[in-house]
Structure 1
């Protein structure tokens, strides 16, 4: 990746320039059997659409705080990079009552209602499916995002030294996030082309780093496994082999 990259959005742009066709996020939900693989190009397209939704329809501005009430999931990774693209602070599992807007999964809808700003809900169904009926008071992400533009340009440049992420009591600027992701990538032994399998949750820095930021910073990819505890040792070994996993962080 480029040494000049200072935000997660920069890292994604560099990955797109280097090899748009390579896998970036492979997601498993071992409670449902779902598997989704997104190339760099496909992931970047989701990010662009989501950033356009965030900046345009939701009127989010740099410095706004978004309570991200989502589990480890490929769509959560998309939202993290969309926030970085706009300059919005992604407050993972943050308090919706103090946030400017909230993005929630189906299990945290009631908690999310405390937000007085815009509210977006994700059904987290296979293939990005929508709710059978949108929850009252929420925009259904799967309904709103497809019509958004495939290219994104921020209204204002994103400041790499402004807050970008809050998780588990830690708040990082974009530049600090990239620096820590690079450090973690080195500690995990990641190099360009590495495939990191992780079952960590997204409610800690360690989970977010292994599940997205460190592989992205290294020029590698992640096999993100939700509910990995439902796999036995043989099943895990088979996944490691079939997905050509080079490193693990479970």
Structure 2
């Protein structure tokens, strides 16, 4: 943890400098048996490629709004940090009709078509696979992202006091159509406070079954562990496990904290 970090992208850079090999995000889909583990370095590489896609291929600029219509998933976490790296506002489950860009999973494609700007679709299939048939009117993320650069430099420094994250649940802060909006520095401050409240420290392993539909979900599911030098095990379908399987999961993943 670095006291000078002022944006979520700063938190990732600090984690990368401290220990690039340690696990950061582990994802389970208990409906399919999929397990994906990303080290800090691998996660940062995905973020860099996605940020390059945003900036260079999609012509996104600081202050643009991106409606993020994705569930709790390792690729959703990547998009949150890619937006933070470019200065694009990640509007969690925001209105596509009012967004400059939209990123959608397979379940929200119809709603995403309301966006008049660039539309990006994620299959959310195991191993980040492509759609068998690309959705009409959408860029297939899995097709475009592999060819992007492994390092990212924004054209302009990201302003930590500019809007960074839009949330469906309004708990104070600046409002946009009844939604909560946080600046980059506010996201970092809240992530640190959340980490402290949860008792997260470097090396902690937080198991989260929370959806990415509120601060609680993205805080536990990425930002608080990142701020604390900890790691997260995302398992949004954890309810499919019986108690014995859950206990085995906690033991095998060395879980120290839970959020469900």
Q: TM-score, normalised by structure 1?
A: 0.99
Mapped pair 1:192 → 2:231? no
Q: Deviations over 1:161-187 (max 9, x none)?
A: 000001122210000000000000001
Instruction: Please name the residue that 1:128 is paired with.
Output: 128
Distance, in Å, in 1 between the alignment partners of 2:236 and 2:31 is: 8
Distance, in Å, in 1 between the alignment partners of 2:100 and 2:31 is: 32
Q: CA deviation at 1:229?
A: 1.1
Instruction: Please name the residue that 1:32 is paired with.
Output: 32
Instruction: Please name the residue that 1:95 is paired with.
Output: 95
Q: Deviations over 1:172-215 (max 9, x none)?
A: 00000000000000010100111000100000100110000000
- Per the alignment, in what secondary structure is the counterpart of residue 36 of structure 2? strand
Q: CA deviation at 1:228?
A: 1.2
Distance, in Å, in 2 between the alignment partners of 1:2 and 1:214 is: 14
Runs of 4+ in 1 over 2 A off after TM superposition: none
Distance, in Å, in 1 between the alignment partners of 2:242 and 2:211 is: 18
Structure 2 residues not aligned, in runs of 5+? 169-178
1:130-169 paired onto structure 2 within 5 Å: 130-168=130-168, 169=179
Q: TM-score, normalised by structure 2?
A: 0.95
Root mean square deviation of aligned Cα: 0.5
Distance, in Å, in 2 between the alignment partners of 1:233 and 1:162 is: 44
Instruction: Please name the residue that 2:18 is paired with.
Output: 18
Distance, in Å, in 2 between the alignment partners of 1:232 and 1:55 is: 44
Instruction: Please name the residue that 1:76 is paired with.
Output: 76
Q: Deviations over 1:9-63 (max 9, x none)?
A: 0000000000000000000011111100000000000000000000000000000
- Per the alignment, in what secondary structure is the counterpart of residue 136 of structure 2? coil
Distance, in Å, in 2 between the alignment partners of 1:232 and 1:91 is: 34
